[in-house]
Amino acid sequence: MAELIRSAMEKNPSARILVLQNNVDLIQQTARILPGYVTTYCAGLGEKIQAHAGTTVASVASMVRAPELKDFDGILIDEVHALGDSDYSTYKKILSRFGNAKVVGFTATPFRSSGKIYGEGKFFSRVCFQRSLLDMIDEGYLVKPSLKHTAEQFETKGLKVRMGEYAMDDLAKLAADTVKVKKQIAEAIPRLADRRSRIWACVNIEHCELVAREIPASKVVHSNLSREERDETMRAFRAGEVRDLVFVSVIKEGIDIPRIDAVVFMRPTRSPTLYVQVAGRGLRPAENKKDCLLLDFGGVVANLGPLDNPRVREPGETKAQAEREKPQFKFCPKCLEYIPIQSVKCSACGEGFIDERLKNLTVKAATGGGLLSNDPVRNKVTAVQIELHMSQAGNECLRVTYQCGIIRLHEYFSYQHDFAIKNWVKRAHELGVPYRDNLDDQARQTVTRVPREIETVLDGKYTKVRKLFFEGN
C-alpha cells in the first residue's frame, strides 16, 4: 500500500488521498515508511487536524469526529478483513461525505471465519487485484515459510466451535495445561536454536505469562500492559535486544518486523485470517534470512492447509463440501515438514518415503518394485509455464510447469520421437500455445489458456499428468 501511495503521489502531486487505518501502530508505521508524503491525523496520538495536502493517514475514530475533512479523490482502507458489520456502517457514514471518491480496501486475507469478505451484497463487491503469496516469494518480496509438525500438538478434536472459531473457554482450558505447555516449549527450544527472532502466538494473557515463564529472557505483549510497556518491548524486539516475543493478538496485523524468522503457534485456530496474519509476520525478507520456520502446536496447518491457499469455510457448507475441501497434507517423518500428500520425496530434507495412502496398492515386480497408484489426484492450477530443459541424459526437451498452490508439477516433451511430438502438439493446443517445430522457438511461446485443474497419477516414482480440466468441462 505504501508503494501505491508513493507512486500515486509522484504521478499526481495534487491528488488528495485519505488512508484509513484502525490502529495507532499502523498509522505510525505508515508515517515512518513514507516520510514527507503524509500527514497523520489521529486523536489517539494527540494530534490536531492539519491542512490535508497530499496524503492524510487517519484513524477511523478521528474521521468520524472531523466532518471538516472531506475533499479526497481516493480513499484507501487498510486491513479490511478486521472490519466487523458495525465498522462497515461507520465507514459508510464517513464515505457518504466524499461523493465520488474511489474506495479501495487492502488485506492479505480477504476472508473471515464467516467466509469471504467480498461479494454480492457486501461492502466490497469484488477483488480488483490480487497477488499470490507464491509470486511474492518468487519475486523476493517475501521469504518461504517452512511449516513443521510437532510431537506435542494440542488435541483439537471435541473442542466447541462458536462463530467459526474454537470456543474461547475450551481454548483456555487447553492452554491452562501446564504440563503440556512445558512439554511443547521443551520440544520447541532446540528446534528453534538457529532462529534469531521468534514470536509465540498464545490463547490468552494467562497462557502468555505461562509460556513466557518457561522461555528465559522472553518478553510478553498483551492488553494488560500499559501502552509504554508494550512500546518499549516492541522497540527492544525490533532492535534484536529481545529474542522471544510472546503475545496474544496485539501484534498480529500489519506490524512489520522483517527479522522475525520463527513463528510458533501455541494455540489452535480455525480462522484462516489468524493463521495467515500471524504466520505472515515471519515472511518479510531480511539480511541472512532464507526462510521462516513455523512450528505448529495447534494443529493449524492440518486444519487449514497451505499458507498460500488456506481453507475458507463458507456459511452453510455441507459435510460433503467440508470433506472435499479438507487439506490434503502429510508431514515428513524425518524433518516433520508438512508436504503435499502425493509427495514421494520431502521438499525440505530430501527424504524419500512411501505415501501412507499407497501402502495397500499393488507392487508390480515387472516395474522393478515401483509403486503404482490408480488413485488420481486433482490440484487447482494457478499458473502454467513452458521452458527449455536439459534432461539427465543430456537431451534438450520442453518442460511444462503447472503451479498448484505450493506444489509444482512438471511435464516433459521431447522432440526426438514422433509420438512425443504428437503428445506435445495435443497439449500445446489445449494450453493455447502456438506450435513451433524448433525447441528454442517453442520455449519462447506463452501459454494463453490456463487449466482450472490438473489430474495426476503416480506412475512408478513419477507423477504423470493424466488430464487437464478447463473452465466449462
Is the Cβ–Cβ distance between 74 and 105 less than 8 Å?
no
Question: Which residue, chain included where needed, has cell 488430464?
Answer: 467
Q: Would you state the cell numbers that stand for residue 207, as one nine-digit string?
A: 497462557
Shortest Cβ distance from residue 301 to Zn ion (Å)? 14
- Closer Cβ to Zn ion, 350 or 370, answer by number: 350
Q: How far apart are CA 215 and CA 295, in angstroms?
A: 16
Q: Would you state the cell numbers that stand for residue 385, as one nine-digit string?
A: 509455464
Which of residues 349, 354, 363, 390 is near Zn ion by CB under 5 A?
349
335 counts as binding Zn ion under rule CB under 5 A: yes
Residues whose CB is less than 8 angstroms from the CB of residue 172 and which lie 6 or more positions away in sequence, other chains included = 203, 204, 206, 207
- Closer Cβ to Zn ion, 152 or 351, answer by number: 351
Which of residues 82, 346, 443, 458 is near Zn ion by CB under 5 A?
346
- Closer Cβ to Zn ion, 346 or 468, answer by number: 346
Is the Cβ–Cβ distance between 180 and 152 less than 8 Å?
yes
- Closer Cβ to Zn ion, 350 or 376, answer by number: 350
351 counts as binding Zn ion under rule CB under 5 A: yes
363 counts as binding Zn ion under rule CB under 5 A: no
- Closer Cβ to Zn ion, 147 or 386, answer by number: 147
417 counts as binding Zn ion under rule CB under 5 A: no
Shortest Cβ distance from residue 337 to Zn ion (Å)? 5
Q: Which candidate, 214, 250, 213, 220, places its Cα nearest to that of 236?
A: 220
- Closer Cβ to Zn ion, 335 or 372, answer by number: 335
Residues whose CB is less than 8 angstroms from the CB of residue 207 and which lie 6 or more positions away in sequence, other chains included = 172, 175, 176, 181, 248, 266, 267
Neighbours of 18 (CB within 10 A): 25
DSSP 364: P
DSSP 117: S
In residues, how long is the chain?
473
| Interface with Zn ion: number of residues (CB under 5 A) | 8
Region of 141-149, 172-180, 208-216, 350-358 interacting with Zn ion (CB under 5 A): 350-358
Q: Which candidate, 241, 313, 215, places its Cα nearest to that of 272?
A: 313
Shortest Cβ distance from residue 192 to Zn ion (Å)? 17
307 counts as binding Zn ion under rule CB under 5 A: no
Q: Half-sphere exposure of residue 392, counting CA atoms within 13 Å on the CB side?
A: 0
Q: Would you state the cell numbers that stand for residue 80, as one nine-digit string?
A: 479490511
4 counts as binding Zn ion under rule CB under 5 A: no
Is the Cβ–Cβ distance between 57 and 41 less than 8 Å?
yes
Q: Would you state the cell numbers that stand for residue 373, as one nine-digit string?
A: 497408484
- Closer Cβ to Zn ion, 351 or 453, answer by number: 351
- Closer Cβ to Zn ion, 195 or 427, answer by number: 195
In the stretch 315-334, what mask flags binding to Zn ion with x, by CB under 5 A? -----------------x-x
Q: How far apart are CA 282 and CA 280, in angstroms?
A: 5
Shortest Cβ distance from residue 146 to Zn ion (Å)? 10
Shortest Cβ distance from residue 347 to Zn ion (Å)? 8
Find the binding residues for Zn ion in span 83-112 (CB under 5 A): none
- Closer Cβ to Zn ion, 337 or 411, answer by number: 337
Shortest Cβ distance from residue 230 to Zn ion (Å)? 38
The CA-atom distances, in angstroms, between 203 and each of 276, 280, 294, 404 are 16, 18, 17, 33
**H-run or E-run covering 39:** strand 38-41
- Closer Cβ to Zn ion, 45 or 349, answer by number: 349
- Closer Cβ to Zn ion, 332 or 377, answer by number: 332
Q: Would you state the cell numbers that stand for residue 163, as one nine-digit string?
A: 462463530
Region of 138-146, 264-272, 335-343, 384-392 interacting with Zn ion (CB under 5 A): 335-343
Residues whose CB is less than 8 angstroms from the CB of residue 115 and which lie 6 or more positions away in sequence, other chains included = 312, 313, 314, 315
- Closer Cβ to Zn ion, 44 or 333, answer by number: 333
Shortest Cβ distance from residue 470 to Zn ion (Å)? 35
Strands 55-59 and 17-21: parallel
DSSP 194: T
Q: How far apart are CA 113 and CA 277, in angstroms?
A: 13
Q: How far apart are CA 373 and CA 146, in angstroms?
A: 28
Shortest Cβ distance from residue 195 to Zn ion (Å)? 18
Shortest Cβ distance from residue 330 to Zn ion (Å)? 11
Shortest Cβ distance from residue 335 to Zn ion (Å)? 3
Shortest Cβ distance from residue 298 to Zn ion (Å)? 21
348 counts as binding Zn ion under rule CB under 5 A: yes
274 counts as binding Zn ion under rule CB under 5 A: no
Interacting residue ranges for Zn ion, rule: CB under 5 A: 332, 334-335, 337, 346, 348-349, 351
